[in-house]
Structure 1
Amino acid sequence: MRILLTGPIGQLGYELERSLQARGEVLALPRARLDLNDLDQVRATVRALRPTLIVNAAAYTAVDQAEAAPALAYRINADAPAVLAEEARALGAAMVHFSTDYVFDGAKPGPYVETDRPHPLNVYGQSKLAGEQAVAAAGIAHLIVRTSWLYGMRGQNFLQTMLRLGRAGGPLRVVADQQGAPTWCRTVADTTAQMLALAAAGGHPWWEANSGLYHLACQGQTSWHGFAEAIFAHSNIACAPQAIARAAYPQAAQRPAHSVLNCDKLIGRFGPIPAWDKALALCLA
């Protein structure tokens, strides 16, 4: 299998490049070689490389900045995936596309399932939802994977911010009334590779029975404050963050108060996903 991977420099793409090696030849193209903001370049690159699978890990993920730059967010998160899917259809290729829990508004009291109606509260979530819809409508074999609260030991993310601030000392205030499931990028990458392996193991094209939308997040839930406390505990950092309400930490983009994803569909077909705290301990170890 010839795999075109976008965004290999990002925290998820970096892990995917490692995890997908066993699935085939991985053509990992950083932004310098494949800029999703340049749709003509996207078309030309796919046509030149002729992959059998496109794994799109690149995205515009600056949630607050997207409110001031909606056109850019939509071009990268919606228009570019649409072009990738169009080119995949022309080649007879399949596609894996990653999305977000921020397609939901947080009004549901329990975990969201794949069939729940999306209602994003911010431009980032709206653009990611548009990307999902474009891939699903393209008529190609696809896996659309929604995940949540991604972190890892690379890039800019909540884990890295807490480690830096906790080690610096001083008071720290963290939001305690937003619930979600912190998810290690390596968990997503390894599970995605496992999905591709198991789906193909039956001797038929994996999309015949497995194409569609899946939720993939570490199990359980916590708040950002609870996540911060766990980071400090696993890292032996003496820091006791103050719990605050979202209203005390104003941001340009509105976030869902509760965006936990129900992953039963994926678990039932492809196997277990670790609890968020266990995955965090493994990451920090």
Structure 2
Amino acid sequence: MKGRVLIVAGSDSGGGAGIQADIKAVTALNGYAMTAITALTAQDTSGVHGVLPVPIDFLVQQMRLVLADIGADAVKIGMLATAEIIDAVADTLAGSAPGVAIVADPVMVAKGGHRLLDESATGALIRRLLPLAAIVTPNVPEAEAMTGIAINGVDDMRRAADILLQYGAGAVLMKGGHMDGPVLTDLLVTRLGETAFTGKRVETRHTHGTGCTLSSAIAAGLAQGLDVVAAVDRARRYVDIAIRTAPGFGRGHGPLNHAHTVGDFA
């Protein structure tokens, strides 16, 4: 086991996304996962049916205790919900985890359409979290919300990534899964250049938690000493297989097979 990853995100009672997916992904890639839960959600594969925020002082206590005792080589940030939570998380990381690689997944809307970030909190996300992030991993709707750019192709992805770099992110992984076509393109942009990752789209409804899983897999790679290109490349390959071998659970957007790296001990 190598690489300590603190995950700051919401819980998914269905187990396919959020903290549950994060823990599975980090563990499957031989990392050590720790958590600071921002909210409890009641959800299944059809959507989010309820959200119970965790008190901010208790969220901060979770983060500080873990960082002071176990420490972290990377931090993955997922669902934060409000500007107040964003401010508290940013302040805690700045004080307790200086120099630690931060992966920011700007979770705004759940797969079923439930909003997970207040619209008024987008500015706080840009102002407080992006300057701390080694990499930010938006999908197309999230990037459009943060940049104001309509994204219809790779050139638009590149323009949006450049804006997010200007906001302070160290690198930007623009995920192209929301765009049409049989070939999916993700664009990794840094201040040194860009890398395009392409793959065949998998036609399936079992894609719940792909964003959470990908960003946590990237965080595991960074925690284990991989550079950002290698971390993204491995994470994408892990997620691709997890989608292709999904167990088919649930009536809606089903979960991935996070355990495909694990041997059979039955």
Relative to total residues, which structure has the larger helix share, 1 or 2?
A: 1
Task: Report TM bin, short chain.
Answer: 0.3 to 0.5
TM-score (norm 1): 0.42
TM-score (norm 2): 0.44
